[in-house]
């Protein structure tokens, strides 16, 4: 089996050591960098299968680093998992908006991270060089912030767009109303939980003519889940 190469960009030596120790095995091959300039040098010679990127780095923020990578044809399809500290949680949605595929909050266990790595690598969303995220016939253009299904362009509000983008990047996992509010509006937003219900209802209405509405399922007493496959029907 071909080993998958992971590039870790993290300035804290202890975390790099921990990851190197826990993730180097028969499955993964690790390369690490303590700053983004070293990471760029590595990326000029290697194309890793996935990047694990710290949010706060000495020479450039993780967000700016993602923006740079996304401009480069060969690099922009590499999935990225961001490492964020608790206090930086507000910024998670920003990370997702600029193109990170997932994030994990410090402190985390190596097992948790390797589970996330597998999920991201398995997700199978095709990101083409034109900044498109596809799920079956649904296509999200992250440059234009537009969504189309087959050849129809959906008229979504910015909130509906963010909700759908979030769901497509995080399928098959239940999110509470509170979590969705944090991801979509930010942690400090004062948003009533019923607002989420209203927004999801509107989003479903817009997806219904295209047959994608049943992928967003309400989970009683828990929140919402977006099904990656359409054979799981809503009850
Ligand atoms: Ca750091």
CA of 10 to the centre of ligand 1 (A): 6
CATH number of the domain within which 108 lies: 3.40.50.2300
Where does a domain end: 102, 123, 144? 123
Calculate the alpha carbon distances from 198 to 12, 38, 168, 177, 188 in Å: 43, 46, 19, 11, 20
CA of 43 to the centre of ligand 1 (A): 20
Helix (H) and strand (E) counts for the chain? 8, 12
pTM: 0.56
Mean pLDDT of the chain: 85
* CA-only gyration radius of the chain, Å: 18
Closest CA to 62 of 81, 46, 44: 81
Calculate the alpha carbon distances from 228 to 52, 102, 136 in Å: 24, 16, 9
Q: In terms of residue numbers, what domain contains 221?
A: 126-226
Query: How much is the pLDDT for 115?
Result: 84
Give dist(CA 183, CA 93) in Å, integer. Answer: 5
Which pLDDT tens digit goes with each residue over 109-154?
888 888 888 878 876 544 445 578 889 999 998 878 899 999 899 9
Residue 164 forms part of a structural domain: yes
Residue 216 forms part of a structural domain: yes
Tally the domains of the chain. 2
- Percent over 70 (pLDDT), the chain: 88
Given the structure tokens 């509405």, which residue do they identify?
213
CATH number of the domain within which 140 lies: 1.10.10.10
CA of 145 to the centre of ligand 1 (A): 30
């Amino acid at each position: 089996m071909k080993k998958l190469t992971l590039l870790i960009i993290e300035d804290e030596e202890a975390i790099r050591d921990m990851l190197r120790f826990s993730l180097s095995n028969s499955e993964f091959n690790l390369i690490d960098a303590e700053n983004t300039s070293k990471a760029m040098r590595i990326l000029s010679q290697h194309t890793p299968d996935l990047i694990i990127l710290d949010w706060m780095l000495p020479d450039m923020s993780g967000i700016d680093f993602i923006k740079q990578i996304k401009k480069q044809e060969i690099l922009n399809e590499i999935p990225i998992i961001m490492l964020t500290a608790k206090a930086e949680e507000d910024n998670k949605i920003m990370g997702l908006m600029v193109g990170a595929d997932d994030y994990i909050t410090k402190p985390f266990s190596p097992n948790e991270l390797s589970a996330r790595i597998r999920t991201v690598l398995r997700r199978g969303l095709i990101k083409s060089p034109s900044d498109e995220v596809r799920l079956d016939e649904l296509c999200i253009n992250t440059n234009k912030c537009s969504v189309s299904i087959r050849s129809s362009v959906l008229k979504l509000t910015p909130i509906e767009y963010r909700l759908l983008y979030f769901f497509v990047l995080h399928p098959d996992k239940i999110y509470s109303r509170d979590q969705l509010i944090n991801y979509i509006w930010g942690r400090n937003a004062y948003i009533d939980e019923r607002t989420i219900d209203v927004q999801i209802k509107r989003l479903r209405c817009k997806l219904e003519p295209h047959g994608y509405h049943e992928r967003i399922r309400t989970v009683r007493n828990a929140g919402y889940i977006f099904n990656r496959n359409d054979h799981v029907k809503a009850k």
